[in-house]
Amino acid sequence: MGHFTVPAWPRPAPNALRNLQAVLESGRWSLPGPWQGHASAEARFAAHFADFLGAPHCVPTTNGSSALVVAMEALDVGVGDEVIVPGLTWVANASTVLAVNATPVMVDIDPSTLCASPTAIEAAVTERTRAIVVVHLFSSVVDLDAVLAIGERHGIPVIEDCSHAHGASWRGRRVGTWGTVGTFSMQEKKLLTSGEGGAVVCRDPDLADRMFQLRSDGRRLAARPVEGESELVADCSVAGTNYCMSELCAAVLDAQLEALPEQNLRRAENAATVDKLLQELPGLAPVRALPSVTERTYYQYAVRIDREAFGGVTAETVSRALAAETGLPFQTPYPPMYRHPLHRPRTKRRFLLVGRDPSRLDGPAGGLPETERAHREVLTLHHSVLLAPAGAFETLPAAIEKLQQQAGSLRAVESAR
């Protein structure tokens, strides 16, 4: 296979520079900066993103981690509480729970979606569970009907972490609008990005007001702003922190959002092509969307391998060999969060004080079998790859067949590592 050229990411949308320049010259670079007689870039982006999602309220934040913290603080999650999180996700889903002095309770995934298993969530609920955080991982949407039913049955709010799924829909409605709160990351690798950035969305105006204050040092918008003075006033019902998105990031995001639908469409078209090519090969099963997913997004394209078809080696070995053979940057999913090198709950004394049993911070005794298996069996491709021209993937099957025929050398490579 010819060497694949990975399309550049991030890529500035047509209006990014124009928007950025307007903010640079505006005299207001931050939300608390002097009001210029018109809506801030942050407020404009919030309105456009809310509209895109069909969410009544949106509050931008510095990043996806602060979005999660703001969501949990707004829902009054704190000391002694447990928050259910998936075992297969970025470490922020544990670190943000620890940041609000609660205990992350990691649950196993549904092997078909790679998202948290509703059965595992239900089994993890205790009288201390204060929130359920689900992640729409890679190109999947969690079984929202099942998760929301569990939340409702037990009176526990569901937070949808949509950091991988800007624009995905479940039964015709965008993800992020189904749970009590939806959170987003706009970090550099994401489908919608300003380098760093985040947002929370919700339906409840009181919750939105709380989240606004929680990320603005407790401040609210002035009812009648005065030109040249801060639009934020010290009118406070809850103590906050500064997690405000910069005007510069908001200006970039507003432009990137305009480009998102077309980019998502292109990724979906290429993903369908790759699906078709891969499913005709033995030992490869692209991860499928649940039937209720009406609009699928691809943060990472994911395909499960039957290791036997590759001489019994792990996905890690296959991903490296395939990347070398094709130039396509194949990767493997995160290791289970409890053994991720960045999950270090014992490095801060206060983390050990958050729950009744500090050993729970190390993850579930006995591990999470499906989460472990996904790490050994799943290959992923970053969405930038799916922005390639049509036809860029035609020779992928031949490269895979070649590797399968050379299973002996794959085994040798793996045992030498």
Ligand X SMILES: Cc1ncc(COP(=O)(O)O)c(C=O)c1O
135 binds ligand X (CB under 6 A): yes
For ligand X (CB under 6 A), the number of binding residues is 14
**All residues at 6 or more sequence positions from 370 whose CB lies less than 8 Å from its CB, including other chains:** 108, 109, 110, 111, 117
Per-residue tokens: 106:
């990691």
Least distance CB 161 / ligand X (angstroms): 5
243 binds ligand X (CB under 6 A): no
Least distance CB 156 / ligand X (angstroms): 19
Tell me if residue 276 is catalytic.
no
113 binds ligand X (CB under 6 A): no
From the list 207, 52, 50, 65, the residue with the least C-alpha distance to 133 is: 65
As a whole number of Å, the end-to-end CA separation of the chain is 25
Q: CA distances (Å), 300 to each of 157, 266, 386, in order?
A: 27, 14, 9
Distance CA 331, CA 117 (A): 23
Secondary structure (3-state) at 62: coil
198 binds ligand X (CB under 6 A): yes
164 binds ligand X (CB under 6 A): yes
161 binds ligand X (CB under 6 A): yes
93 binds ligand X (CB under 6 A): yes
Least distance CB 380 / ligand X (angstroms): 12
89 binds ligand X (CB under 6 A): yes
> 189, 190, 276, 348: which is the annotated catalytic residue?
190
266 binds ligand X (CB under 6 A): no
Task: Point out which span in 62-70, 98-106, 266-274, 407-415 binds ligand X (CB under 6 A).
Answer: 62-70
Q: Which of 40, 140, 187, 193 binds ligand X (CB under 6 A)?
A: 187
Distance CA 316, CA 379 (A): 8
Task: Please identify the residue of the shown chain whose CB is closest to the bound ligand X.
Answer: 64
Q: What is the largest distance, in Å, between two alpha-carbon atoms of the chain?
A: 73
C-beta closer to ligand X: residue 65 or 326:
65
Q: Which of 19, 117, 140, 163 binds ligand X (CB under 6 A)?
A: 163
**All residues at 6 or more sequence positions from 142 whose CB lies less than 8 Å from its CB, including other chains:** 113, 115, 116, 118, 134, 135, 136, 160
Residues 148 and 174: beta-carbon distance below 8 Å: no
Enzyme catalytic residues: 190
- Residues contributing to the site for ligand X (CB under 6 A): 63-65, 89-90, 92-93, 135, 161, 163-164, 185, 187, 198
